[in-house]
């Protein structure tokens, strides 16, 4: 008898289940994108850094937030952008965000960043999104953003010390931390070519649970 191999769920189903089953916590919330989007110790320094970057341009940037989640972070950044396009794959989450957050230059779109065409812009924000994707899926995202955006602001949860980058995983709730790995888009198999790289800060998590690192990439 041939044993059937379980196929990974489509990422849209995975992310929808995560929110519906409160797998990232936040049982008191209708939608909750995890402590990384709510813990003031993590998000306040992050917001300060991003606001400084966005304010440093004479002309406000068009920002695309890929994987905007519950928008607890994005809501603080919209005023510093010429246009802010917030994207997520979970339909009910996007519909909820549309009702809660309304500004003339703010737009929410339900898209799959792996397979769908992305809107044009100057800068993308990817906050703890790639870490949940397989290498094949990350590769598809990288190929699109490498030619479409000047700035990439990437936040990833990685081990405390040196690690082997980009061990493959099945997309889902988990990340590469247990494999002593994390996403590095400059390393194989992604090999993103950039003009400049700048560390925007990091937060060390308690109980040896790694660190959350934010990096700015100037692509061209």
pLDDT 10s digit of each residue in the chain, 220 long? Answer: 444 444 567 889 889 999 999 999 999 899 999 999 999 999 999 999 999 999 999 999 999 999 999 999 999 999 999 999 999 999 999 999 999 999 999 999 999 999 999 999 999 999 999 999 999 999 999 999 999 999 999 999 999 999 999 999 999 888 999 999 999 999 999 999 999 999 999 999 998 899 999 999 999 9
> How many Å is the maximal CA-CA distance in the chain?
67
Topology of domain 11-218 in CATH is: Rossmann fold (3.40.50)
Inter-residue contact 217 to 194 (CB < 8 Å): yes
Count of beta carbons in the 10 Å neighbourhood of residue 121: 21
pTM tops 0.85, yes or no: yes
Q: What angle do helix axes 91-100 and 11-20 make, rounded to 10 degrees?
A: 60
Alpha carbons 29 and 22: distance in angstroms, whole number: 9
Query: 3-class DSSP state for residue 165?
Result: strand
Residue with tokens 């931390």: 177
Structure tokens at 101: 């957050």
Q: d(Cα 190, Cα 76) in Å, to the nearest integer?
A: 31
Structure confidence at residue 14 (pLDDT): 86
Q: Quote the Cα angle for 23-94-205, to 5°.
A: 40
């Amino acid at each position: 008898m041939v044993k059937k191999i379980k196929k990974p769920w489509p990422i849209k189903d995975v992310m929808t289940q995560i929110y519906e089953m409160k797998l990232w916590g936040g049982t008191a919330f209708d939608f909750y994108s995890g402590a990384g989007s709510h813990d003031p110790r993590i998000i306040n320094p992050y917001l300060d850094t991003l606001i400084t970057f966005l304010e440093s341009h004479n002309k406000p940037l068009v920002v695309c937030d890929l994987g905007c989640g519950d928008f607890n972070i994005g809501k603080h950044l919209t005023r510093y952008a010429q246009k802010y396009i917030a994207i997520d794959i979970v339909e009910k989450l996007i519909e909820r965000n549309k009702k809660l957050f309304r500004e003339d230059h703010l737009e929410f779109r339900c898209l799959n960043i792996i397979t769908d065409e992305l809107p044009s812009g100057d800068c993308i924000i990817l906050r703890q999104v790639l870490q949940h994707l397989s290498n094949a899926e990350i590769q598809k995202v990288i190929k699109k953003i490498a030619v479409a955006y000047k700035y990439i602001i990437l936040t990833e949860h990685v081990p405390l010390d040196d690690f082997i980058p980009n061990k493959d995983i099945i997309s889902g709730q988990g990340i590469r931390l247990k494999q002593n790995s994390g996403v590095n888009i400059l390393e194989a198999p992604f090999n993103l070519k950039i003009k400049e790289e700048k560390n925007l800060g990091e937060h060390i998590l308690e109980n040896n649970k790694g660190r959350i690192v934010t990096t700015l990439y100037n692509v061209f």
